[in-house]
């Protein structure tokens, strides 16, 4: 069951162009096999990343285990199979990403434990769309800046969300906060924070929000709508990380959207004249 949930089957026609990978993704792996890494937008609320194993060979490839190794990870991320990659197809294997240290680059390597004569093989993997580099940089920013959200409160037709910032060992500049598919910045709230915090500083700021759309399905199926993008600059560079509210705060935000939208009450106050 765990394997089934972790395994996303993506059959890709050979020669469609999506299977083309640079040479570093092929070195050390069996002929016709490449591995690339990615993180889906819906997985940004979790630590899940996808290792896409492409099999351009003529025989099925049975993966017993896959390890993803990055210099900035203290331990490998692992997938435990088995999983069979059909000839001319690909599988996305889900891996739980360890927390990364600050640093530069990705330099991903993979280890595959395969059925048959290939045994255990090591090779390179590409960061297919740059999502892994962004994940690593978010981890660095999150280690240097702790952001906590307090209980949201309603003021008129706006949601007021208290934010508490605390730096750890380095100076950090907090740039701006942005809205999501679920939560917009309220009228008059530009999201600019523009605050430089020295190591050990604390700072608080309320952000005013409003529902981005009043749709019961959007609220019920929300995965990333309460992850507010936060621009942060450290000595390692600028990065967009996410404010990740605690479960109780997330529940309060969703309840506030429901109340302001009148969901379940037969009307929508945001559509009133």
Is the CB of residue 178 less than 8 Å from the CB of residue 185?
Answer: yes
- Nearest-angstrom CA–CA distance, 220 and 25: 40
Architecture of domain 139-271: Sandwich (2.60)
Cα–Cα distances in angstroms (integers) from residue 92 to residues 17, 153, 227, 228, 265, in the given order = 17, 41, 25, 27, 42
Instruction: Domain 2-129: give its CATH code.
Output: 2.60.40
Q: What would the pLDDT profile of 23-80 be if each residue is shown by its tens digit?
A: 555 568 999 999 999 999 889 888 999 999 999 999 999 999 999 999 999 999 999 9
Rounded to two decimals, the pTM is 0.82
Is the CB of residue 5 less than 8 Å from the CB of residue 20?
Answer: no
- Nearest-angstrom CA–CA distance, 234 and 138: 11
Q: Across-strand partners of 144?
A: none
Within this chain, domains 2-129 and 139-271 share the same CATH topology = yes
pLDDT by position in tens, the chain (length 273): 444 334 443 333 333 334 455 555 556 899 999 999 999 988 988 899 999 999 999 999 999 999 999 999 999 999 999 999 999 999 999 999 999 999 999 999 999 999 977 799 999 999 999 999 999 999 999 999 999 999 999 999 999 999 999 999 899 999 999 999 999 999 999 999 999 999 999 999 999 999 998 988 878 878 889 999 999 999 999 999 999 999 999 999 999 999 999 987 654 444 443
In the chain, where the domains are located: 2-129, 139-271
Return the structure tokens found at 85.
């990659």
- pLDDT at position 24: 53
């Amino acid at each position: 069951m765990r394997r089934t949930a972790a395994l996303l089957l993506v059959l890709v026609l050979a020669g469609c162009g999506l299977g083309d990978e640079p040479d570093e993704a092929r070195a050390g792996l069996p002929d016709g096999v490449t591995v690339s890494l990615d993180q889906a937008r819906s997985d940004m609320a979790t630590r899940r990343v996808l290792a896409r194993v492409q099999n351009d060979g003529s025989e099925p490839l049975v993966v017993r285990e896959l390890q993803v190794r990055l210099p900035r990870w203290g331990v490998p991320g692992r997938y435990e199979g088995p999983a069979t990659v059909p000839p001319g197809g690909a599988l996305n294997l889900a891996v739980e990403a360890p927390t990364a240290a600050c640093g530069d680059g990705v330099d991903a390597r993979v280890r595959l434990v395969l059925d048959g004569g290939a045994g255990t093989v090591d090779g390179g993997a590409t960061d297919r769309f740059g999502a892994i580099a962004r994940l690593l940089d978010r981890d660095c920013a999150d280690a240097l800046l702790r952001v906590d959200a307090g209980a949201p409160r309603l003021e008129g037709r706006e949601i007021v969300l208290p934010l508490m910032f605390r730096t750890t060992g380095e100076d950090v500049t907090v740039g701006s906060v942005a809205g999501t598919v679920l939560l917009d910045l309220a009228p008059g709230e530009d999201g600019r924070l523009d605050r430089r915090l020295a190591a050990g500083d604390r700072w608080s700021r309320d952000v005013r929000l409003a529902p981005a759309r009043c749709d019961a399905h959007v609220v019920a199926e929300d995965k990333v709508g309460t992850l507010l993008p936060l621009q942060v600059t450290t000595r390692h560079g600028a990065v967009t990380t996410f404010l990740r509210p605690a479960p109780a705060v997330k529940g309060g935000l969703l309840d506030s959207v429901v109340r302001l939208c009148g969901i379940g009450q037969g009307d929508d106050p945001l559509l009133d004249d």
